[in-house]
Structure 1
Amino acid sequence: MARYDEHDQARWAPEPPGNPERGAFERDRARVLHSASLRRLAAKTQVVTPTDYATMHSPRTRLTHSLECAQIGREMGKLLGCDPDLVETACLAHDLGHPPFGHNGEMALDHLAVRCGGFQGNAQNLRLLTRLEAKAVTEDGRSAGLNLTRAALDAVCKYPWTSYSSQIPGVPHAREGRPYCVYPDDLAVFQWLRQGAPDYSLAFEAQIMDWADDVAYSVHDLEDALTSGHVAAEALRDPGERLAVCDLARRWYAPDADENELAEIFTRLVADPLWPGRFDAGLADLAGLKRLTSDLIGRFCRSAQDATREAYGSAAAESAGRHGMDLVVPRVTRLECALLKGVTAHYVMSRDDHHATQARQRDVIEELGSLIMLGAPATLEPALRPEFESATGDAGRLRAVVDQIASLTDSSALAWHRRLSARA
């Protein structure tokens, strides 16, 4: 680990030396793997709720997505000269802050949390890792969360700035409406983990994690959509259908692309011999689909690896610091990835029944906020009651309620809503 020094391996709360046979990043990986937050991802939405795939026995969840992302990121990181445990830790942790009901729940919680600074899944990641997970405490008795190394925390931060609303002098902030990775309450640990990092600069490991995330969910969500029957393989060979997907992909994922450019790339994608002409979910079809997804993942990863090596030299990553280089992803590869996301968005997330489900989910989040606040702190889990009781104002108490809701899974959010509604 010559490229990672004591500064990179430092922890927010000093700890006694651990097992000398285990590296600092190996311990980071183990802490995330054993965390309650990671286990909860097994029951959290990836694209749609697990119960929505009535014809599937095992749809992907946030947990399976995180595991797949970790496998992709680990291999990419190793081949590009990064510590594989460090990259895998970032991939495993990158979705811990997602609330119930996926991005729909995130929007609902952001609306609920407007009086305490808003809600952002990436900022909730940092809060979980440095405050809410139970593992270590600081010298003054406060929770230090999992107390990961500086490099691991920095590798999770793919939006390394605070929100637009908290105009703190000298601290980078996002433009309004953009994601961010830190709430004002957690600014001290954010400034600690970013020591020595240029403003707005993503660590190289964070860039690998981000691309592994894109690759994993673009390819695997397509696989789930085909397997569930939401997407018919033959429909994607229809030029009109492809144009509709291109339009959505451009608006949601690739605003700098031209629709004609996307249409040409999409035509080449579906012309691949591995792309299914039809899909009936038999063993041969399932095996063929696996060959397609494996080929796409390998191609997307190799494209970025080759372009990065070409830009910096094959040995550059092994000697560069964490902020010494950028991952290079060719434009065509990014647009191919955007088109795969567009397929799922068009055929799954844009359905009328999906919109109706999302509206009900937002109602549940909003009503839970009122119900929990009405009975707090008794309505909070014991670990979160001190945060509520020690708050000096309404904003702090609301943040404790938001932390509680964000920790719930899809099913437990519905169960809490039923239980608290019956008491009201």
Structure 2
Amino acid sequence: MTPDRAPFAACPALSRGREFGTDRSGARGPRSEFQRDRDRIIHSIAFRRLKSKTQVFISPDGDHFRTRLTHSLEVAQIGRVIARALHLDEDLTEALCLAHDIGHPPFGHAGEKALSHATERHGGFDHNAQTLRTLMRLESPYCDHDGLNLSWELLEGLAKHNGPVTSPNWALAELDAFYPLDLASHASLEAQVAALADDIAYDNHDIDDGLRAGFLQLEELLTLDLVADQWRSVEAQFPGAPRDRRLRELVRCQIGLMVNDVIEQTRAATAGLASVDEVRAAGRALATFSEGMAQEERRLKRFLYERLYYHPEQLTTAERARDVVARLYVAYEQEPGTLPPAWRATLPPEEPHRTRHIADFIAGMTDRYAIDQYARIYGREPEGLRNV
């Protein structure tokens, strides 16, 4: 433990290691185990593909709307701030934040629903398990093993950042059988912080994008006490500022309020803890919002689901996106010759591996590549995939 590291923080020097042993004699630079994790993620193809995957809006015309990549970067920024204040390992927290959405297929949750339906006879599809599958098996730049060979702590955090997993789906269960991740316990505080940073980022940045797109109206947002209180503060502080700047100040204020709440609540919950093992054995999440903030955050989420995620235009576009993914799956299943040569050459003949192979290929697609593949196979681009 270093003087600036909390006793309950994850320590790279005490890492449980990696699935495949590594020769560190040729290590590139003086990096900790968790720094190496972060760097492997940043340099991966799967991470780069996030730049063209849906966050909220599918294939938006505007350059200012968030993608999975920009969202992940914003989550990492928030996560590092909280980790630093709590004296946790910032590198592990950042790596978890950067990697948490890598398993998402094209078109976000619409694409996931289509893949889940297409593969339900063979175990289904789950984006969180697909994140682990991608990092541990599919993304393979090394000559001597599959996957990125990330640390146990990083993989544990991705598997359990939302809490213990009592019923893992086939993908996570298969990986856990090869490299056990203690799925029944809670994860490190770094993983818990990463999950909260994700909530804080999309709760507030989706407001920003929703207002920009015209799907949300400030007057409706002001029915929420959390938003109304912050807006009054912004108006009092900047009465003459342009409205668009005050709206961005509102989002920043809400993020700061939530971050400070998490820091204060987690400090109180971790007082007296002496190790990361005590965090895992606590039987509950220790990094949390206060009860009051948790209630406000739940109200905000309900509002976003009702007014943004389930907006009629969003639902119509999502249905078209689901159709694209479903039709791609049918084409590859019925006519394997439509797969690219490398994927066709490795297509297993037997189930369930055949179905899962096709799902792996589709899950890795960007929105743009999925549209291009649809046009190549069906002779026309899908219609109506832009609503902003």
TM-score after normalising by structure 1? 0.78
Of 12, 29, 40, which residue of structure 1 is paired with 2:49? 40
Stretch of structure 1 that moved more, 103-112 or 369-378: 369-378
Q: Deviations over 1:110-163 (max 9, x none)?
A: 01111221000000000011011122355xxx51x111111111121225777x
d(CA) in 2 for partners of 1:219 and 1:410? 24
Q: Partner residue of 1:260? A: none
Q: Partner residue of 2:357? A: 400
In structure 2, the CA distance between the partners of 1:361 and 1:275, relative to structure 1 (3 Å rule), is farther
Q: State the shift of 1:378 in Å.
A: 5.8
**8 A Cα contact 2:19 2:179, kept in partner:** no
Q: What are the equivalent positions in structure 2 for 1:45-56 lying under 5 Å apart?
A: 45-51=54-60, 56=62
d(CA) in 1 for partners of 2:164 and 2:139? 22
Q: Deviations over 1:351-384 (max 9, x none)?
A: 22222211111111111011112332661462x4
Q: Are residue 130 (structure 1) and residue 119 (structure 2) matched?
A: no
**8 A Cα contact 2:122 2:352, kept in partner:** yes
d(CA) in 2 for partners of 1:29 and 1:212? 17
In structure 2, the CA distance between the partners of 1:154 and 1:79, relative to structure 1 (3 Å rule), is same
d(CA) in 1 for partners of 2:379 and 2:219? 48
Q: Deviations over 1:309-333 (max 9, x none)?
A: 11222x747x434625521321221
Q: Are residue 26 (structure 1) and residue 32 (structure 2) matched?
A: no
Q: Partner residue of 1:370? A: 330
Q: Are residue 110 (structure 1) and residue 116 (structure 2) matched?
A: yes
Q: Partner residue of 1:13? A: 20
Residue type of the alignment partner of 2:230: D
Q: What are the equivalent positions in structure 2 for 1:24-423 lying under 5 Å apart?
A: 24-51=33-60, 56-136=62-142, 142-143=145-146, 145-157=147-159, 158=161, 172-173=166-167, 182-191=171-180, 194=181, 197=182, 199-237=184-222, 242=223, 266-274=224-232, 284-313=242-271, 316=273, 319-321=275-277, 323=280, 326-376=286-336, 379-380=339-340, 382=342, 384-385=343-344, 387-388=346-347, 391=348, 393-422=350-379
d(CA) in 2 for partners of 1:392 and 1:211? 42
d(CA) in 1 for partners of 2:127 and 2:295? 25
Stretch of structure 1 that moved more, 333-342 or 10-19: 333-342
Q: State the shift of 1:49 in Å.
A: 1.1
Q: State the shift of 1:95 in Å.
A: 0.2
Q: State the shift of 1:283 in Å.
A: 7.4
d(CA) in 2 for partners of 1:190 and 1:82? 25
Q: State the shift of 1:173 in Å.
A: 1.4
What secondary structure, in the 3-state scheme, does the structure 2 residue paired with 1:227 have?
helix
d(CA) in 2 for partners of 1:378 and 1:228? 36
Q: Deviations over 1:33-88 (max 9, x none)?
A: 1111111111111112142xx5x441011111000000111121122222101000
Q: Which runs of 5+ in 2 are unaligned?
A: 3-9, 381-388
In structure 2, the CA distance between the partners of 1:199 and 1:386, relative to structure 1 (3 Å rule), is farther
In structure 2, the CA distance between the partners of 1:381 and 1:119, relative to structure 1 (3 Å rule), is farther
d(CA) in 2 for partners of 1:400 and 1:283? 54
d(CA) in 2 for partners of 1:411 and 1:198? 35
In structure 2, the CA distance between the partners of 1:10 and 1:16, relative to structure 1 (3 Å rule), is same
**8 A Cα contact 1:304 1:330, kept in partner:** yes
Residue type of the alignment partner of 2:367: D
Residue type of the alignment partner of 1:37: A
RMSD: 2.7
d(CA) in 2 for partners of 1:103 and 1:419? 24
d(CA) in 1 for partners of 2:231 and 2:325? 45
Q: State the shift of 1:339 in Å.
A: 2.8
**8 A Cα contact 1:106 1:120, kept in partner:** yes
Q: State the shift of 1:22 in Å.
A: 1.2
TM-score after normalising by structure 2? 0.85
What secondary structure, in the 3-state scheme, does the structure 2 residue paired with 1:119 have?
coil
| Matched pairs, number | 362
d(CA) in 2 for partners of 1:88 and 1:274? 33
Q: Partner residue of 1:257? A: none
Q: Which runs of 5+ in 1 are unaligned?
A: 163-171, 175-179, 243-265
Q: Deviations over 1:277-309 (max 9, x none)?
A: 8xxxx9722321222222211111111111121
What secondary structure, in the 3-state scheme, does the structure 2 residue paired with 1:95 have?
coil
Residue type of the alignment partner of 1:289: L
**8 A Cα contact 2:105 2:111, kept in partner:** yes
Q: Relative CO higher for 1 or 2, CA cutoff 8 Å, sep ≥ 6?
A: 2
d(CA) in 1 for partners of 2:111 and 2:269? 40
Residue type of the alignment partner of 2:39: A
Q: State the shift of 1:275 in Å.
A: 6.7
Q: State the shift of 1:386 in Å.
A: 5.4
